[in-house]
Each structure stands twice: as structure tokens, then as C-alpha cells.
Amino acid sequence: MFRDRNLMLLAAGQLTSRLGDVSFHIGLLWLTLEFTGSKQMTGFMAMMEYLPILLFGLVAGVIVDRLDRRRVMFSTSLFRALLMLCIPIASWLGHLSIVICAASAFSLALATSLFTPARDAMLPRMVAKKDLVKANALVQGSDQFAWFLGPLMAAGFLALVRTEYLFLGSSLLFVMSFILLKLMRHTDIRTGDTMAPKPSAWREARAGLSLAWRHKGLRWLLILTAVNNFFIMGPAIVAMPVYIGSDLGLSGKYYGAIEAVLALGMMASSFLIVRRPVRRRMGRVWLWGMLLDGLTYAPIMLAPAFPRLVPLILMHALFIPLISIYRISIVQELVPEEMQGRVFSLVGMAVVGMTALSCGVTGMLLGHMPTHQLFGTWGILGSACGLAGWCIPRLRRL
């Protein structure tokens, strides 16, 4: 697998693309806190990073299934490279505002709504079915390494330059992603495929929705994914910088450090999956991940100082790949390849779309309740989704 040139280029392109996303994400939230000092505005800005996928995810899935997925990926990387220049240019001209930041976040998410399902739907064309879990773990591992390295890089830059200049580095990373993905050769392990005439985009979108609804396992996977992400992602994205910056009174480098710890735990877990993947009863692994992912947020209710927060976040991170890697592998197992772009877009709507709503609600709630209490309460509610899934036999049999 590690000798597969295309797979390595895909993982490297994913790594640099995600590094650009991470740098943008950290810079955006920290810039918002610097501009406004508002928890509610921070939640709103985080919501703008994810809202387009909820609104346009299904359309993105149709586009991914109709076009060459490699071209979709490198084209969106180039678009994001150009987009990242807007914030520093606006700063140089003296016109930087929250409106420009929000518009940049919204536009970046539109491009990401195409990039992510194209990546996940392309893997079954690149590797044999028996290697899919390992390939997913490798690609997700590159994603997690970006979440480890990106915050460290961002923390270093934030110590040296103004926050808005961090976006220049994001632009360069997206250029690197474009180059790496462009170097991939067009290969397809399938043989004998023929191109049938394409139906209308609306019929294709309905076909994707119909497939997901008729298959009880997919239906419940999407429902529980949406509810779980509503409870988990808002605290992770909005409450964490608020807790570190406002509650603990620490600088941006501590926020970068805790994000790096989170990624380190995910990388360790993904490495174990590469070494010993589970290919049967993947639904049970996914449910265990969801249950334990939420429960590991509960101790934050005790308002730990930074040294005690680090091991809690590390433990929490170990269970995240059980959710993300096996959810992708389950969809690849159940869904015909020609429809995977649409179904992965539905997964993206459940994950990223509900993340947008979660961020907005979290920002509003933080104005009325302590940050550490929100972490603990919503973590327990998130773990309840995994417990509910164990009561659904179809999910346990996936």
C-alpha cells in the first residue's frame, strides 16, 4: 500500500490541504476574538465555516459523481489558495472586517463541500476492497497529522506576526496541495466500465437520498451522526478556544498546543487501525467510538487547569478515528461506487452541517452558562447517541 504512488500523493495532497484548513480555522477564530472579544461572534464565525455544506452538500455530491474526482480536488485546492489572499490583502488596504472574514469562511466551506466527498469516493477506484480500511486509515491519518502539525505551526506564526498574516501560509499550503494532486496519474482498478447517459441532476440527487433512506443501516448511521455531531463539535470548535483564552486566560500558543495534542491522539489511534484493521462488524467499532468519544468530555465539567486538560483531550482523541475511519469504510462497503459522492455528501451534511448549527448554538449558550459545564453536559448527550445505536440491531450488524 505504501508503494502506491497515487495513494501516497492523495495522502500528501490531503495533508497539505488540511494544513491550510487548520491554519485558516485557528487564524479565523483567534482573529474574531481579537476583533470582538465576543463568545457569540466566535460561535457565529465558526458556524460560517461549516454552514455551506449543510445548505449545498447534496448538490456538491451530484457534482462529485458527475465529474472526475481528482480534478474536483485539485481545482478546489487552487480556488482556496486564491481565496486565502483576501484577508491579508484587505488588512494591507485597511479594510479588514468581520464581514470579509465571514465571507472568506463561507467561500472556503463551499470548496470543501466538494473536496471531501471527492476524496472519500475516489479511494474505492484506487485500492482493492480488502485494503479499503487501511487506505482510509492512511488518508485519515494524514488528516490528523495536519491537525497535529498545523496548530504548532500556527502557534509559532502567531508568536511572530499579526494574526491576519497567518492566511498567507494557508494560501501556500493549498498551492502545494494543488501540485501534489495534479501529479496523480489517472488510474482506475475497475475494468470494463461503460459510461451510461447521465440523468438530470435533480433525479441523481433524489436517487442518493432514496438510497440512504431505504437502507435502514445507512439511515440510522446518518441520523446518529448528525445528532452526535451537534453535541460534540460545538464544544470542540467554539468552546475550546473560549475556555483556554477567556476562562484560563492563556495565549494562542496554548490553544495551538491543545489542538496538537488532540491530533496526536488521533494519529496514534489511526496507526493502530492501519496495523490491525477490523473488517467485520465495523458498525460495532463505530458505536463504541461514539460512546467513548462523548464520555471523555465529561471530566471537563470539573474545570481542569491546562496541565490536567492535556491528558483528558489526549484520551478523548483516541476514540475519534473509530468514528471517522469506520464510518467512511461502512459507506464504501454499502454504497455502489457511482453513487458514493452523493452519499458522502449526505455524510458531510450530517457531520459538517450539524457542526455549523452546533457552533452557532454553542456560541449563544456560552453567554449564559460556564464553558466547562457545557463541555460535560453535551459530552454526555453525545455519548447517549452511541448508546442509542447499540439498541438498533441493524447498526450492530454493519
* Total number of domains in the chain: 1
Predicted pLDDT at 1: 59
Which region among 184-188, 242-246, 359-363 has the lowest average model confidence (pLDDT)? 184-188
Crossing angle of helices 132-158 and 252-275, rounded to 10°: 160
Average pLDDT over residues 181-186: 82
With a cut of 90, say whether residue 224 has pLDDT above it. Answer: yes
Residue 37 burial (CB < 10 Å; 0-12/13-18/19+)? exposed
Q: Is residue 233 assigned to a domain? A: yes
pLDDT band at 384 (very low <50, low <70, confident <90, very high): very high
**Which range of residues forms the domain containing residue 329?**
5-184+206-396
With a cut of 90, say whether residue 25 has pLDDT above it. Answer: no
Cα atoms in the 13 Å half-sphere on the side-chain side of 191: 1
Average pLDDT, the chain: 84
With a cut of 50, say whether residue 271 has pLDDT above it. Answer: yes
Q: Is residue 196 assigned to a domain? A: no
Predicted pLDDT at 2: 60
Cα atoms in the 13 Å half-sphere on the side-chain side of 123: 29
- Name the most confidently modeled range: 57-66, 243-252, 309-318: 309-318
With a cut of 90, say whether residue 337 has pLDDT above it. Answer: no
Q: Is residue 193 assigned to a domain? A: no
CB 332 within 8 A of CB 123: yes
CATH number at residue 73: 1.20.1250.20
Q: Is residue 200 assigned to a domain? A: no
Q: Is residue 190 assigned to a domain? A: no
Predicted pLDDT at 196: 44
Predicted pLDDT at 193: 41
Q: Is residue 189 assigned to a domain? A: no
Nearest Cα to 136, choosing from 318, 289, 1, 281? 1
pLDDT: is 82 or 40 the higher one?
A: 82
The CA distance from 9 to 188, in Å, is 15
What pTM, to 2 d.p., does this model score?
Answer: 0.76
Q: Is residue 191 assigned to a domain? A: no
Q: Is residue 98 assigned to a domain? A: yes
